[in-house]
Chains A and B, each alone.
Chain A
Amino acid sequence: MRSSFVSFTLNGEEKELLIAPGQRLVDVLREQCGAMGTRNGCGQGGCGACTVHVDAVPMLSCLVLAELAEGCDILTIEGAARDRTLHALQEAFVAEAATQCGFCTAGMIMAAKALLDRDPAPQREAVVEALSGNVCRCTGYEPIIAAVLAAAAMLARLPAAAA
């Protein structure tokens, strides 16, 4: 079995990588692309810490084979901020004290971003459902939900171009 070249876009940047057969996307992102913000939590799809967007759809990168990301557009937490300006969700997570140990945070923000991209003014129930695959063992769910709702309100006040 030989390694093969796989191309995808990572946070807007073209990547062409030599990938050993059977590699998981989470490992390729972390070890070959240096995108360490995507965390390796359980390898079972149970914790959500490795959530990234694949073609704008949130997925668990521990269950995605890197060779199947060929031609895809991948967004990780490192791509959530633009020009060193934090995304509204990131600002809101800071302001609402929605982080404790921080290990679930990137996955939480990526799952929440997928929700806000689709539904800019979600009800609380929609936020809870969107985050139901992301585990926070510091049990800080309430501030996290508050942060997502605050981010939605923040985005609603921004001019469309900046959002």
Chain B
Amino acid sequence: MAFAVHRPESVPAVIAALAGPGRVAVSGGTLVIRDINEGRSFPNAIVSLRRAGLSGVVRNAETIDIGAATPIADLARPELAFLDGVLRGFASPTLRNMASLGGNLFAPRPYGDSGVALLALDASLGIAGPHGARRMPLLEFYAAGIAADEIVTGLRFALPAPGTWRWLKATRRALNSASVLAIAAVVETDSAGTVAAARIALGGVDAHPVRSPAAEAALCGRVLDAAAASHAGEEAAAAHPCFADAYASAWYRRRVLPVHMRRALLGI
């Protein structure tokens, strides 16, 4: 299907190029171009974000800023070493060279696991549009989305304290597989091993990545052991609808959630 391809070289130029019907912003192309190839999407024009200065990782005093068009492969760097599991679980190395972190927020389930990690990190988004720039918590993005003439420009989060990060992606194959469940958590414990605070995010349980207040409440105030972790998983399984697709049934996802929650939180 013929469509124009725009290659703007700044964010204002991107926003200008997006004005008009049927225009779609594309960074890696692994979702949008696939849909065009499959005859599911018929844009009038695509606006590439690759040359708009939206790639790169900047370390600030307390936080990390990642450009929305940064390829997943470019996140393999020492300050983000804790994300190694997230990266290695993301499709194939070739796709990681193309797919971007910002674009992955728009991936339909069961894809989009990096959003699970970013939710647990309590990330916020930079948004640009015809009315200027704004910031938005990732939670709000999943609830409300952004307007068609806006784009995500970047992601920001604070690095988790050493030893607090947890990640698990349960898949049918070891490599290059969409998730049955994805679990990300930042868990802070006191000197007695009691959970003082926890942010737990899940993929595979709802239409998009979600925080799990039920799991967080079940875990806080308890000693972080197998029973507490499994209990948090059971609470999550009861609280979230889960869904069925080619990878797993909703029943299976609910059934194995406590096991994977235990493995995610304790590694056992």
For the complex, give the distance between the alpha carbons of A24 and B2 in Å.
11
User: Which residues from B are CB-within-8-Å of A64?
Assistant: 29, 33, 98
Q: In the complex the two chains form, is A44's CB within 8 Å of B92's CB?
A: no
For the complex, give the distance between the alpha carbons of A62 and B29 in Å.
10
A47-85: which residues lie under 8 A (CB-CB) from chain B?
48, 51, 57-60, 62-65, 67-68, 70
Q: Does A45 contact B (CB under 8 A)?
A: yes
Q: Does B88 contact A (CB under 8 A)?
A: yes
- Nearest neighbor of A4 in chain B, beta-carbon distance: B5
Which of A20, A22, A43, A48 has a CB less than 8 Å from the CB of B92? A48
Q: In the complex the two chains form, is A22's CB within 8 Å of B5's CB?
A: yes
Q: Does A129 contact B (CB under 8 A)?
A: yes
Which of A24, A115, A128, A133 has a CB less than 8 Å from the CB of B91? A133
Q: In the complex the two chains form, is A51's CB within 8 Å of B5's CB?
A: no
Interface size class of B (residues with CB under 8 A): 20 to 34
Q: A63-B30, A68-B48 are in contact. Are A45 and B95 (CB under 8 A)?
A: yes
Q: A43-B37, A129-B175, A132-B175 are in contact. Are A22 and B94 (CB under 8 A)?
A: no
Q: In the complex the two chains form, is B37's CB within 8 Å of A44's CB?
A: yes
User: Which residues from B are CB-within-8-Å of A62?
Assistant: 33, 37
A114-145: which residues lie under 8 A (CB-CB) from chain B?
114-115, 128-130, 132-134
What are the interface flags for A20-37 relative to B under an 8 Å C-beta threshold, 1 for contact and 0 otherwise?
111010000000000000
Q: In the complex the two chains form, is B1's CB within 8 Å of A133's CB?
A: no
Q: Does A158 contact B (CB under 8 A)?
A: no
Please name the 9 residue pairs, one residue from A and one from B, whose CB atoms are nearest each other, closest first: A133-B92, A43-B37, A132-B175, A132-B176, A67-B5, A22-B3, A133-B94, A63-B33, A63-B29
Give the B-binding residues of A (Cβ under 8 A).
Answer: 1, 20-22, 24, 43-45, 48, 51, 57-60, 62-65, 67-68, 70, 111, 114-115, 128-130, 132-134
Give the A-binding residues of B (Cβ under 8 A).
Answer: 1-5, 7, 28-30, 33-34, 36-38, 46, 48, 50, 73, 88, 91-95, 97-98, 175-176
